[in-house]
Structure formats: C-alpha cells, structure tokens
Amino acid sequence: MTVTLINPDGLPVIDVYHQVAVATGTKTIYVAGQVAWDAEPDLARQTEQAYVNVHTALKGAGASLKNLVKVTVYVVEWTPDKMPELLKGIENAMARLGETAQPPATLIGVAALDVPEHLVEIEATAVI
C-alpha cells in the first residue's frame, strides 16, 4: 500500500499537514475518536496521548501512522491561541513514536466532548 501526500499547486502549503493524500490499497481502517483517559487537563499532553492511541489502534489493524490518509481533531472551546499547545502535543507524539505523520487534517472546535476532562479527540482513517 502506498500513501502519497501532496500539496497541489494553487493550494497553500501548511507546515503540519498536506492538503491531499492519494492512497492505493485494499483495506481501509477507520479509527474511532481517541482521547487521553488518564491524562491531566493539559491540551498538549492529551493531544500526545490521543495520537499514541491512534498509533496503537492502527498497529492492532496491521497499519501505522504512515498509512494515515485523514485525521480529524476535535478541540473543546477552540481558539487560535491554543494552536501552540496542540502542535506541541503532535510534535511530542511524533517524537515519542519515531514518526512524521502529516496526512490531510481537519480541526474542529466543539463545545464539549464525552466527559468534561477531555480536551481533544482525534479520529483517523488509514489505507493499507
């Protein structure tokens, strides 16, 4: 399976993700929204753990972060000033896992998640 990440001409280049993923493969994996069940109320730490959980889920299905074709990140009470914390969590997760995943991503601000302690939830799609 191959995932080719591209930024087509005419679309902005974003440092933390690519605009398009072209996937060829035979199996699609949908990972339910992942949260940090035992992390402190800290956006960076919860983001890191959520990505680690996505990695664990993918590994269980025979995939890795390299197979990601799309992630959706939900952040409670999102404001742009939270971006450095979110990016720190992503960077920490990638360093911890030895990965450099940058698939297309969507960031959605939400009023709340399943329990008040959760600040971020990440769902993912991969193809192998």
pTM of the entire structure?
0.91
Instruction: Check residue 27 and give its pLDDT.
Output: 94
CATH code of the domain occupying 2-127: 3.30.1330.40
Helices 83-97 & 43-60 angle (0-180, nearest 10): 40
Q: pLDDT digit of tens for each residue in the chain (128 aa)?
A: 689 999 999 999 998 999 999 999 889 999 999 999 987 899 999 999 999 999 999 999 999 999 999 999 999 999 999 999 999 999 999 999 999 889 999 999 999 999 999 999 999 999 99
pLDDT at 38 (0 to 100): 86
| CA 40 – CA 50 distance, rounded (Å) | 13
pLDDT tens column, 83-105: 999 999 999 999 999 998 899 99
